[in-house]
Structure 1
Amino acid sequence: MTRPIIGITMGDPAGNGPEITVKALARADLYDRCRPIVVGDAKMLEQARGFVGRPDIRIHRCEKVSDALFTPGTIDVFHLELIADVDKFELGKVSLEGGNAAFQCVRKVIQLAMDGEVDATCTNALNKEAMNKALEAAGGANSDGYTHFDGHTEIYATYTHTKKYTMMLAHHDLRVVHVSTHCSLREACDRVKKDRVLEVIEIAHQACKDMGIETPRVAVAGLNPHCGENGLFGTEEIQEITPAIQAAKAEGINAIGPIPPDSVFSEALGGWYDIVVCMYHDQGHIPLKTVGFVYDREKQAWKAVEGVNVTLGLPIIRTSVDHGTGFALAGKGTSNELSLVNAIDYGIRMANGRKN
């Protein structure tokens, strides 16, 4: 099978994205599974190479994907001239230059995927404040008139012209998708409607199929404690969630539930389900980050910061790290690259699944 080409954004250059990218792509075995190319400013990757102590890694500037070498020990960078002076660019701080750079990398990698030049995209973290300040300052001149985006997901939806999409978080075989994400909890409850729940069940089912799971088991979490106790603690399960599950079953989807939120994730970790449909942001994020983010008490340091963010429903593949920009860690060379490695692996898996 031909190794898929994975386009990787460098993230906000003021954060640790460039550093974890160098660390991840220093792994020679990754090149056995894919052909990675970074989209960003090559000067920032050269600087990051010094931070992580890998002077042996070559940074290869490319003007187009076909220029890439895809060779272990060399990091191909689709170079965008984004940072005027690397020596004067301040790490760990919100800036217009950094916010614009992060946005331009995302916009370019989407274009490459839509044009079929890369098989999947993988994003490092951007800073929403920096990006939106840059968009506002430019008056939308650098973004087809857009002056605000909530985050990566909305950028991808806009530039791929996608109306139906959702976020999936994954830690190995624990996967969750969301009916709603970035809104207040009060609004999230109002968004639990049959049509949207059914839509997310369908997207979750297809995502599992894309990953090679032939007969996905889709668990659907309830919204209320104990799934409402037959209306005692709320009626969303009766009026919206159960009808959506029944409609999904009528389509041939193995949708199971509603299942009480306080037990569904333990069951999923035990292998009962392939994916869990969650009703709101924190219902899915908390269990994923509890298992993926591990802090070592004795060493007073993070032992693992793992997790993958995947946008489902798009015509292209997008995976991402499940952590922030790491401004406090920028320039220290100590950031953990496992989340990016896992995100790249998910991109490979999904790209291969679509080819099949």
Structure 2
Amino acid sequence: MDSSQPRIVLVPGDLSGVGPELMVRLLADPANRVRARLLVTATAAELDSFARTAAATIPDRDDIELLGTTYTGPEIPVGEVSVAAGRRALADLATALDRCAGGEADGVLFLPLNKGAMGQAGMREEDELRWFAKRLEFEGFTSELNFIESLVTARVTSHVPVSEIADGISAGRVLETIELLNRAVSQTRTSIPRLAVCALNPHAGEGGKFGREEIDDIAPAIELARSRGIDVEGPFPCDTLFSRAVGGDYDGVVTMYHDQGQIAMKLLGFDQGVTVHGGLPVPIATPAHGTAHNIVGTGAADLGPSSNAFDLAVRMADQRRSTTGIDSISKSEVPAK
């Protein structure tokens, strides 16, 4: 193996879904295996089983390091949410993070997870990103970044009830999200990103008629980001912004909450989407789709998002080996409200 290559831990995700077969299809492609040194949280027998499900063949495994798994529970039922699947996913993710924290790996690619299963298995955080941060003892700002071919998004709030979104909007969080997105786009797409920021309220609040978040928090954060040299505009009504962005006006968009960005991104590029867990000290990527229980073993799972996620994980991990990558950003000096 080439010691200069980035070392990527591949995690099959929730074993009840399509993750294992997608992972095998990635491993079966020789072009992927020459780009990185691959470590896999599975046993040899499991890899054989995954390959049978995927109707795929891995021609030579000598360059794949099988880490096995620390999971010792019951067999995981296929095609359904279960405590066992959640426990296995958390165990494998912990192994991957520990390898990176210990200097034995440079990045992680995990296949689709099920938050319900992980919650049943004991995950108390709102999502895996916050679980990752806790496991890594990282207390800085984090945000999920979503990539399609034409656009990158980051969000100020994520997996919270709609009733709590407004409380999560502050000048500090908006600024940190802009800075993180600017770093991500500049290191993966273009050196001088053009960014836009969504409003929270309809019609960008209509001068305070429909809410003051645009006046009190979002616009001040944009102005401060501009004073720091970031090319960013807004806040713009979300219902028109994405058509401008995908038309080429912007390289990245900051959204205020999960569905404000994700509905647009999945309509624009469901077969391309990648999620990156931005802000963490470890590069972590995953395809931006779910476990797809209804198509396990049918061969219908689209490999495109997983291939894109692999590509991004390798690039970020390679960058991490030589410099500070998009997984690191300074905390904003703007106080939260």
What band does the TM-score fall into relative to the shorter chain?
0.7 to 0.9
The TM-score with structure 2 as length reference comes to 0.87
Do the aligned partners of 1:9 and 1:122 also contact (CA within 8 Å) in 2?
Answer: yes
Work out the CA distance in 2 between the residues paired with 1:131 and 1:42: 25
Do the aligned partners of 1:13 and 1:44 also contact (CA within 8 Å) in 2?
Answer: no
Work out the CA distance in 1 between the residues paired with 2:164 and 2:126: 16
Do the aligned partners of 2:76 and 2:82 also contact (CA within 8 Å) in 1?
Answer: no
Match of 2:235 in 1: 258
Do the aligned partners of 1:11 and 1:123 also contact (CA within 8 Å) in 2?
Answer: yes
Work out the CA distance in 2 between the residues paired with 1:246 and 1:24: 43
Matched, 1:44 2:27: no
Deviation at 1:198, TM superposition (A): 0.8
Work out the CA distance in 1 between the residues paired with 2:28 and 2:193: 35
Matched, 1:316 2:305: no
- Whichever residue aligns with residue 113 of structure 2, its letter is L
Do the aligned partners of 1:41 and 1:82 also contact (CA within 8 Å) in 2?
Answer: no
Q: How many pairs does the alignment contain?
A: 319
Flag structure 1 segments of 5+ consecutive residues without an equivalent: 61-68, 136-146, 294-304
Matched, 1:132 2:114: no
Going from structure 1 to structure 2, the CA distance change for 1:195 and 1:254 (only over 3 Å counts) comes to same
Do the aligned partners of 2:27 and 2:58 also contact (CA within 8 Å) in 1?
Answer: no
| 1:289-322 CA distance string (max 9 Å, x none) | 11223xxxxxxxxxxx331011111111011111
- Whichever residue aligns with residue 245 of structure 1, its letter is I
- How do 1:166-177 residues align onto structure 2 when only pairs under 5 Å count? 166-177=143-154
Alignment partner of 2:174 out of 197, 201, 208: 197
Give 4+ residue runs of structure 1 displaced > 6 Å after superposition. none
Match of 1:155 in 2: 131
| 1:227-255 CA distance string (max 9 Å, x none) | 12222332211111110011111222222
Matched, 1:219 2:196: yes
Deviation at 1:30, TM superposition (A): 1.7
- How do 1:1-356 residues align onto structure 2 when only pairs under 5 Å count? 2-55=4-57, 57-58=59-60, 60=61, 69-70=62-63, 75-80=64-69, 82=71, 89-135=76-122, 148-163=124-139, 164-211=141-188, 213-293=190-270, 305-354=271-320, 355=322
Work out the CA distance in 2 between the residues paired with 1:95 and 1:340: 23
Deviation at 1:212, TM superposition (A): 5.8
Deviation at 1:81, TM superposition (A): 5.0
Going from structure 1 to structure 2, the CA distance change for 1:56 and 1:34 (only over 3 Å counts) comes to closer
Q: Which has the higher strand share?
A: 1
Work out the CA distance in 2 between the residues paired with 1:333 and 1:76: 26
| 1:323-345 CA distance string (max 9 Å, x none) | 11122222333322211111111
Deviation at 1:41, TM superposition (A): 4.0
Flag structure 2 segments of 5+ consecutive residues without an equivalent: 324-337
Alignment root-mean-square deviation, CA: 2.1
Deviation at 1:76, TM superposition (A): 4.0
Match of 1:144 in 2: none
Deviation at 1:133, TM superposition (A): 2.2
| 1:72-130 CA distance string (max 9 Å, x none) | xxx54321153667xx6421122332211111111111111112222211111222222
| 1:16-56 CA distance string (max 9 Å, x none) | 11101111222222234333322234433211101222245
